[in-house]
Amino acid sequence: MPRIHVTEHAQAQGRLKEIYDNLLQKRGKLADIHKIQSLRPESIAHHMELYMEIMFSRSELSRARREMMAVVVSVANGCQYCTMHHLQAVKHYIKDPQQLEAITQWPKEGILSSADSALCNFARHLTLNPGEHEENDYTQTLRVNGFSDEAILDAALVIAYFNFVNRIALSLGLKADEKEMGGYKY
């Protein structure tokens, strides 16, 4: 149960209703992560702009890889809400049960490709040990695995974004349930 007031779609008015209606039209559903921001409607709009840029814009990193890192970050942070949501998205791209298990139980070496493992390691390490990245260059493993500077920037953006969203979900009491999982347009 959310720890702050949430305005549901049926009670929304003005700009909030406009934003909710737009999300429903584009995504098929309203996510609790958006509704939790209902006291600040513009934060929802800006949040979605950032999300779309980081997760859907043109990148060397496939959608599958970006969603994979989202799950690794969310698991490392203990964020059940984001883990469940983004695991659903990963399942659109990755069908192998062993790979899905490896992603949700990272680090689980030897199942993912070297490049995917490097991304997962980078995501988990930056999430759990951010201060170490100031003094040490952990991007070298990504370069060795063929990632360009643009791809490394995209990876850092995905990781930072999900650490941000995980903290919103965790601090404000968002819990995912099965009824919320389905029905999104990916």
Q: Where are the domains of the chain?
A: 9-57, 63-171
pLDDT in tens, 85-127: 999 999 999 999 999 999 999 999 899 999 999 999 999 999 9
Return the pLDDT at 180: 63
Q: pTM, whole model, 2 decimals?
A: 0.94
**Which of 77, 97, 42, 46 has its CA nearest to residue 162?**
77
Q: 72 burial class (0-12, 13-18, 19+ CB within 10 angstroms)?
A: buried
Q: Are 2 and 36 in contact (CB under 8 A)?
A: yes
At the second CATH level, the architecture of 63-171 is Up-down Bundle (1.20)
Q: Provide the pLDDT confidence category of residue 177 given band limits of 50, 70 and 90.
A: confident
pLDDT in tens, 56-91: 999 999 999 999 999 999 999 999 999 999 999 999
**Which of 83, 85, 87 has its CA nearest to residue 97?**
87
> Phi, psi at residue 177, to the nearest 5°?
-130, 165
Return the pLDDT at 76: 98
